[in-house]
């Protein structure tokens, strides 16, 4: 399960849930718990933090000036323009126009070439800091051009976290920048 930490608090939601940024107050987070009888929401403002039973527990936390998504295997900065959805662990980030960022773990190294599906074209291969291997692809889906990026983050013991981002062509920069900003914490 992912939780949010920052601005002096930690938000621990009840599963399944969504975190969304809110314009109600600076750094406020709208937390939604997806229940059988319909969604229940709570607005958490770090300036006046309060728990909402059955939706989110709020406790004191780190006082850094950004929201950090915390999970047991890694922490990542929460990029602007994306909601955090957790209906299946660990979580998925969802942005405008169906843009998304997801993460999966692997107990062994992965050859980036195995992530290229039929009909996809490799447009770039590179290595970022911390030995993160990147492979960027384009493909057509329902008559539109899409971009997909796989970022392989090596972990201890040969494990790898694979961050996958995809978006329509017009949202490539926002989606790529969001993912790379997430990885800047590592």
pLDDT, tens digit, for every residue of 84-110?
999 776 789 999 999 999 998 888 888
CATH 3.40.1000.10 at 97-186, yes or no: yes
Distance CA 111, CA 151 (A): 11
Of the CA atoms within 13 Å of residue 20, those in its CB half-sphere come to: 14
Q: Shortest CA distance to 169 belongs to which of 129, 150, 132, 141?
A: 141
Query: By the 8 A CB rule, do 11 and 4 touch?
Result: yes
DSSP-based three-state secondary structure for 174: helix
- Number of C-alpha atoms within 13 angstroms, CB side, residue 51? 11
In this prediction, residue 180 carries a pLDDT of 95
Q: Where in the chain is the domain with CATH 3.40.1000.10?
A: 97-186
Polymer length in residues for the chain: 186
Token pair of 52 as six digits: 């909402």
The pLDDT of residue 186 is 58
Check if the beta carbon of residue 13 is closer than 8 Å to that of residue 19: yes
Whole-angstrom Cα distance, residue 124 to residue 120? 12
* Dihedral angle sign, alpha carbons of residues 24, 173, 132, 112: positive
CA distances from 12 to 60, 61, 112, 142, 165 (A): 11, 11, 34, 38, 25
Q: What pTM did the predictor assign?
A: 0.90
Mean pLDDT per block of 10 residues along the chain (186 residues) reads 95 97 94 97 97 97 95 90 86 95 88 94 95 97 97 90 96 96 80
Structure letter (DSSP) for residue 128: -
Element (H, E) at 176: helix 172-183
């Amino acid at each position: 399960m992912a939780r949010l930490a920052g601005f002096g608090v930690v938000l621990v939601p009840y599963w399944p849930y969504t975190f969304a940024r809110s314009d109600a107050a600076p750094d406020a987070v709208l937390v939604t718990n997806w229940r059988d009888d319909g969604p229940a929401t709570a607005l958490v403002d770090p300036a006046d933090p309060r728990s909402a039973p059955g939706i989110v527990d709020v406790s004191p936390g780190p006082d850094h000036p950004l929201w950090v998504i915390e999970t047991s295997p890694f922490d990542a900065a929460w990029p602007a323009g994306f909601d955090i959805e957790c209906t299946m662990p660990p979580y998925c980030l969802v942005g405008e126009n169906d843009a998304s960022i997801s993460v999966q773990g692997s107990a062994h190294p992965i050859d980036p070439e195995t992530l290229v599906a039929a009909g996809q074209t490799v447009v770039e291969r590179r290595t970022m800091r911390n030995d993160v291997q990147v492979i960027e692809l384009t493909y057509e889906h329902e008559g539109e051009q899409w971009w997909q990026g796989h970022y392989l983050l090596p972990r201890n013991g040969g494990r790898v976290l694979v961050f996958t981002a995809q978006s329509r062509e017009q949202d490539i920069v926002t989606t790529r920048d969001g993912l790379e900003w997430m990885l800047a914490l590592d």
